[in-house]
Amino acid sequence: MSYEFSTIIEPFRIHSVEPLRMTTPERRRAAIGEAGYNLFSLHADDVLIDLLTDSGTGAMSRDQWAAIQHGDESYAGSPSWFRFEAAVKDLFPFRHVIPTHQGRAAEKILFTAVGGPGRVVPSNTHFDTTRANVEATGAEAVDLVIAEGLDPSSLHPFKGNMDLEALDGLLRERGADVPVVMVTITNNSGGGQPVSLENLRGISAICRRHGVPLFLDACRFAENAWFIHEREAGQGDRDVADIVREIAGLADGMTMSAKKDPFGNIGGWLALNDDDLAERCRNLLILTEGFPTYGGLAGRDLEALAQGLSEAVSHDYLRYRIRSTTYLGDALDRAGVPVVKPIGGHAVYLDARALLPHIAPLAYPGQALAVALYEAGGVRSVEIGSVMFGRHPDGSEHPAPLELVRLAIPRRTYTQSHIDYVIEVVTAVACDAQSLRGYQMVYEPPALRHFTARFEPLG
Ligand SMILES: *Cc1c(COP(=O)(O)O)cnc(C)c1O
């Protein structure tokens, strides 16, 4: 007899535990007030379930902790560096690998080298730090995601795809001003939605035709490759690692945050084929990150990442990972909570505009929802809407295309009962949506304002 079981089994058992701190609604209301209604300003031990980000918050494996013991802290030429470089090149065979302390350091180095006033950098959707690093050089960051990618209810299987005609048009008009084309896999700011292999092949062909290099923002390459494996015709029998290598072969380089799919608590890299550009980037690396065989990382970090990379492409892990994110999204959808569909890889995105039509975009409906989830149940999420993207380099403020609240799922960290609790909290807050009020921003810094802005409730 062969049976089909539907329970999602975590493909690991727990080896070392970390206590969670229980808090009361009164304590949480006080804490969020003191934090200026900004969830980034909370003390993390006032948070019960932390879905702020999946970045650097994953649980390392036994084998990663063991690898840390092999960390060699030689300043130059550490064996840990060579293991790391080999693990990166096994999946992404670019000629040069430049280690950085996290993804944005790789972005800062790349755009310092290729950005500048008058330049344009297209992407499907730039992540916030990518956009900020492009704009900090005076260049323009342009998002060219397909129309379905901006429609929270569209069921397109690859909503992270780039609009190929728009890319071709931009390169035809302004190709000389475009130093690189970026593509974010999966598309974090667009709902954790994947990009198809077919679309990546198309982007690559257009870039090559115009002689413009293509760079991957590859933080969730393994989750993206799993979606290709599951959803794209003809890909179901392939090894995920093989799909990843094909994607790498379509590009000329990548920026990477190893705090995502490779299970790092810290880390990142820049990789590329161009020798001259690599040399300029290494010279910039030395100014701020360190020597090219460690970048911003300790030898032990390099070891943990090399091991994590091999675990990130495990089919058992990826099947569990994507199914468990879908489990949360499907349950909320069934409860009538508006969510971005299909459910993405690393997070479930609540559609705050649909849930809170009575709150104007610049009264920040996403912020109102995120604060309410914290007050009600100690669940920390993050606004991805007009707080994050509403302020423009010319000083003007406009509503963002989407008002989302992201529930990001740390890797291998929470169990299904934690997620069942989150489902209860979100459903309860959604039932009371009418009672939520908007916010006004009473302080904002000049860039990346969502990290340190302060708010006051309206009315
Ligand atoms: C996290 C992330 C980054 C930036 O990486 P950090 O390690 O946080 O600096 C860039 N792009 C995407 C798509 C990301 O998710």
Interval 280-316: pLDDT, tens? 999 999 999 999 999 999 999 999 999 999 999 999 9
In a domain, 415, yes or no: yes
In a domain, 261, yes or no: yes
Ligand 1 probe mutation, 121, 127, 411, most atoms within 8 A of CB: 127
Q: For residue 133, how far is its CA from the centre of ligand 1 (angstroms)?
A: 11
Question: End of a domain among 312, 336, 367?
Answer: 312
CATH of the domain at 370: 3.90.1150.10
Ligand 1 probe mutation, 123, 188, 193, most atoms within 8 A of CB: 188
Q: Is the CB of 102 under 6 A from ligand 1?
A: yes
Q: For residue 104, how far is its CA from the centre of ligand 1 (angstroms)?
A: 6
Per the prediction, the chain carries an average pLDDT of 96
- As a whole number of Å, the CA-based R_g of the chain is 21
Question: End of a domain among 283, 312, 341?
Answer: 312
Give residue-wise pLDDT tens across range 172-190: 999 999 999 999 999 987 7
Tell me the residue range of the domain where 272 lies: 62-312
In a domain, 19, yes or no: no
Alpha-carbon span 353 to 363, nearest angstrom: 11
Q: Tokens 């040399």 correspond to what residue?
A: 279
Query: Residue 213's pLDDT is what?
Result: 98
Q: Whose CA is nearest to atom 3 of ligand 1?
A: 103
- Of the chain, the percentage scoring pLDDT greater than 70 comes to 100
Neighbours of 185 (CB within 10 A): 29
Atom index in ligand 1 nearest the CA of residue 104 equals 9
Alpha-carbon span 323 to 345, nearest angstrom: 9
CA angle 84, 88, 93 (to 5 degrees): 135
Question: Is 80 exceeded by the pLDDT of residue 329?
Answer: yes
Position 332: which residue type? L
Q: 349 and 281: one domain?
A: no
Q: For residue 61, how far is its CA from the centre of ligand 1 (angstroms)?
A: 22
Q: 242 and 330: one domain?
A: no
Q: Is the CB of 130 under 6 A from ligand 1?
A: yes
Q: Whose CA is nearest to atom 8 of ligand 1?
A: 103
CATH of the domain at 240: 3.40.640.10
Q: 321 and 305: one domain?
A: no
Q: For residue 238, how far is its CA from the centre of ligand 1 (angstroms)?
A: 27
Q: 405 and 266: one domain?
A: no
Q: Is the CB of 184 under 6 A from ligand 1?
A: yes
Question: How many domains in the chain?
Answer: 2
pLDDT band at 152 (very low <50, low <70, confident <90, very high): confident
In a domain, 3, yes or no: no
Alpha-carbon span 32 to 379, nearest angstrom: 12
Query: Residue 42's pLDDT is what?
Result: 97
Query: Residue 392's pLDDT is what?
Result: 86
Question: End of a domain among 312, 334, 351?
Answer: 312
Q: 276 and 142: one domain?
A: yes
In a domain, 139, yes or no: yes
Q: 348 and 279: one domain?
A: no
